[in-house]
Amino acid sequence: MFGNDKAVDELGRMVLDYAEERLTLHPVPLDYVLSEAELLDRAGQTITTEGIGGARAMDLFAEVLAPACLSVDHPRYLSFIPCAPSDAAAMFDLVVGASSMYAGSWLEGSGAVFAENQALRWIADLAGLPEQAGGVFVPGGTIGNLSALVAARHAARARAVEEAKGEGRPLRPWRVVATAGAHSSIQSACDVMDAELVTVEPDEHLRLTGPALREVLEREGPETFFAVVATAGTTNFGVVDDLAGVAEVCAEHGIWFHVDGAYGGAALAAPSVRSLFDGVERADSFIVDPHKWLFAPFDCCALIYREPALARAAHTQRAGYLDVLTEAAQWNPTDYSVGLTRRARGLPLWFSLATHGTAAYTRAIERTLEVARHAESEVERRPDLELVRHRDLSVVVFRRLGWGPGDYQAWSDRMLEDEFAFVVPTTHDGETLARFAIVNPETTEADIDAILDTMA
């Protein structure tokens, strides 16, 4: 149907050669953005009735399309949260793609699920979650947060029904509480769920604390809430909330405690900052994106529940054609999140962890923290620059004295045009600011200095 053996051989060689070259390229080019008109001009119409042939399609990808995508693993890509997969993880993504395996159920993907579960266990142990904890790798933090909140609401409503014992109408808690610094995906999850997000004012260090949470819950009626979201590493500043204080208030009121560690959770593996996370062991659910600071390629969020049975009750899809799976006692990853069909997306992380060992992860994360420490002290040392907040993790936010929003944007655009660095400005309290998110162990002190030099 799709060509003879010889053609497939040739395609295979082409694809593997390209992948090998990209995977072993050091340094990688930052690359650039093109407009749709420019791309149409260079690539033309690529989908045709008879096909343009593998060689031509590969060529177009290599020469036109790929360079029009920024390399997120470039050491001076410090915007948003970058992604810097280890070579082992990136290479293994290729193997997963080649393997035609289904990792939604134990029946179909037992080997992959077993390996993914060992990787999840490593994370659960870092967080200090109990033996029965477990979960699933989902595409990203957005789906991880949504899935956790769906489980939380299901559990809260089931318990309310239980408590009402058929007398009167059971409560239907519909609200979530978090700080304004929580990730935009929490608001998005609430929108999808038709839930209401109530925000708590953070303290002067931008953290959610127990007392502030207690005040809001008591004012608003704790029985109206089904989950509290604490952030372990906010996206804009890397702030770790007072997890122990928040856990305590959740326990007092019997409210589900979700910890969003999509970015920062990786630092559980870093002894120098581990104490910031005290209290995470009390989480009912926890996420971390290995595609952020745990050196896995995109499409990887670890979602872990303290009581997986509560998540299963919320997420298991039921249908005659699925009975053979849902009636089995085995671990079916798909039962723990929104979504059914799933790629074995935890395997690149698993392979890299198995290959290098967990100590290599600790060293790599500590290295990025060292570079972040350097960035912070350089900002403090340079008279034109001013730190906005002392860093908890590896995000450094600072201002260039005398600059307005247009100056930051022009500076950022110029660095990208020169294919030198990708550092977009951020805003906080209406002020435009410069921000580095350092998660790539290849980023050096010299990279930071070179970028700061451009702000003089």
Q: In whole angstroms, how close is the CB of 261 to ligand PLP at the nearest point? A: 7
* Least distance (Å) between residue 419 CB and ligand PLP: 25
Distance from C-alpha of 181 to C-alpha of 202, rounded to nearest angstrom: 8
> Does an H or E element contain 165, and which?
none
The answer to whether the bond into 27 is cis (omega within 30° of 0) is yes
Is 188 or 432 the residue whose CB approaches ligand PLP more closely? Answer: 188
Contacts (CB under 6 A) with ligand PLP, residues 276-295 = 289
CB of 349 to ligand PLP, least distance (A): 14
Q: Least separation, in Å, of the C-beta of 319 and ligand PLP?
A: 28
Token duo for residue 231: 């952030």
Nearer to ligand PLP, 243 or 452 (CB): 243
d(CA 437, CA 426): 11
Residue whose structure tokens are 């002190």: 445
Q: Which of residues 134-163 bind ligand PLP (CB under 6 A)?
A: 140-142, 145
- The residue within the footprint of ligand PLP, chosen from 77, 256, 263, 351 (CB under 6 A), is 263
Tracing tokens 């979602």 back to the chain, one arrives at: 303
- How many other CB atoms are there within 10 angstroms of residue 206's CB atom? 21
How far CA 263 is from CA of 199, 334, 367, in Å, comes to 20, 23, 16
Alpha-carbon gap, residue 303 to 307, rounded angstroms: 12
Nearest CA among 428, 425, 450 for reference residue 371: 450
- The answer to whether the CB of 261 falls within 8 A of the CB of 269 is no
Question: How far is Cα 152 from Cα 378, in angstroms, rounded to an integer?
Answer: 43
**Cβ 426 to ligand PLP shortest distance, Å:** 13
CB 404, min distance to ligand PLP, A: 27
Of 71 and 185, which CB lies nearer to ligand PLP in the complex structure? 185
* 396 in Cβ contact with 428 (< 8 Å): no
Q: Which is nearer to ligand PLP, 266 or 325 (CB)?
A: 266
Closer residue to ligand PLP, CB minimum distance, 263 or 411? 263
Selected range binding ligand PLP among 218-226, 257-265, 266-274, 408-416, rule: CB under 6 A:
257-265
| 8 A C-beta contact, residue 454 and residue 434 | no
Contact 78, 436 (CB under 8 A): yes
Of 93 and 260, CB closest to ligand PLP: 260
Site track for ligand PLP across 158-197, x = CB under 6 A: -------------------------x-x------------
**Judged by CB, which is closer to ligand PLP: 83, or 364?**
83
Measure the CA–CA gap between 440 and 79, rounded to whole angstroms. Answer: 12
For residue 345, which of 279, 386, 299, 381 has the smallest C-alpha distance? Answer: 299
Residue 170 is given by DSSP the state P
- Does residue number 262 form part of the binding site for ligand PLP (CB under 6 A)? yes
Q: How many CB atoms lie within 10 A of CB 293?
A: 32
**Which residue, 278, 274, 222, 225, is CA-closest to 247?**
278
Nearer to ligand PLP, 151 or 301 (CB): 301
Our finding on whether 364 is near ligand PLP (CB under 6 A) is no
**Which of 213/287 has CB closer to ligand PLP?**
287
Q: Is 393 in the site for ligand PLP (CB under 6 A)?
A: no
Count the residues in the chain. Answer: 456
Establish how many alpha carbons lie within 13 A of residue 329's alpha carbon, considering only the half-sphere containing its beta carbon: 0
Residues in contact with ligand PLP, shown as a per-residue x/- string from 296 to 335 under the rule CB under 6 A: -----x----------------------------------
- Closest chain position to ligand PLP (CB): 141
Burial class (CB in 10 A: 0-12, 13-18, 19+), 186: buried
Q: Which residues pair with 432 in a beta bridge?
A: 427
Taking CB under 6 A as the rule, does residue 260 contact ligand PLP?
yes
Q: Which of 71, 105, 209, 235 binds ligand PLP (CB under 6 A)?
A: 235
**Nearer of residues 104 and 238 to ligand PLP, judged by Cβ:** 238
| Near ligand PLP by CB under 6 A: residue from 72, 78, 81, 206 | 81
What's the closest the beta carbon of residue 259 comes to ligand PLP, in angstroms? Answer: 10
Cα three-residue angle 237-243-245, rounded to 5 degrees: 125
Q: Site for ligand PLP (CB under 6 A): how many residues?
A: 14
- For ligand PLP, which stretch binds (CB under 6 A), given 213-221, 258-266, 399-407, 424-432? 258-266
How many CB atoms are closer than 10 A to CB 136?
A: 31
Residue 313 DSSP class: H
* Nearer of residues 229 and 455 to ligand PLP, judged by Cβ: 229
Q: Is 231 in the site for ligand PLP (CB under 6 A)?
A: yes
Shortest separation between residue 235's beta carbon and ligand PLP, angstroms: 4
Residues that bind ligand PLP (CB under 6 A): 81, 140-142, 145, 183, 185, 231, 235, 260, 262-263, 289, 301
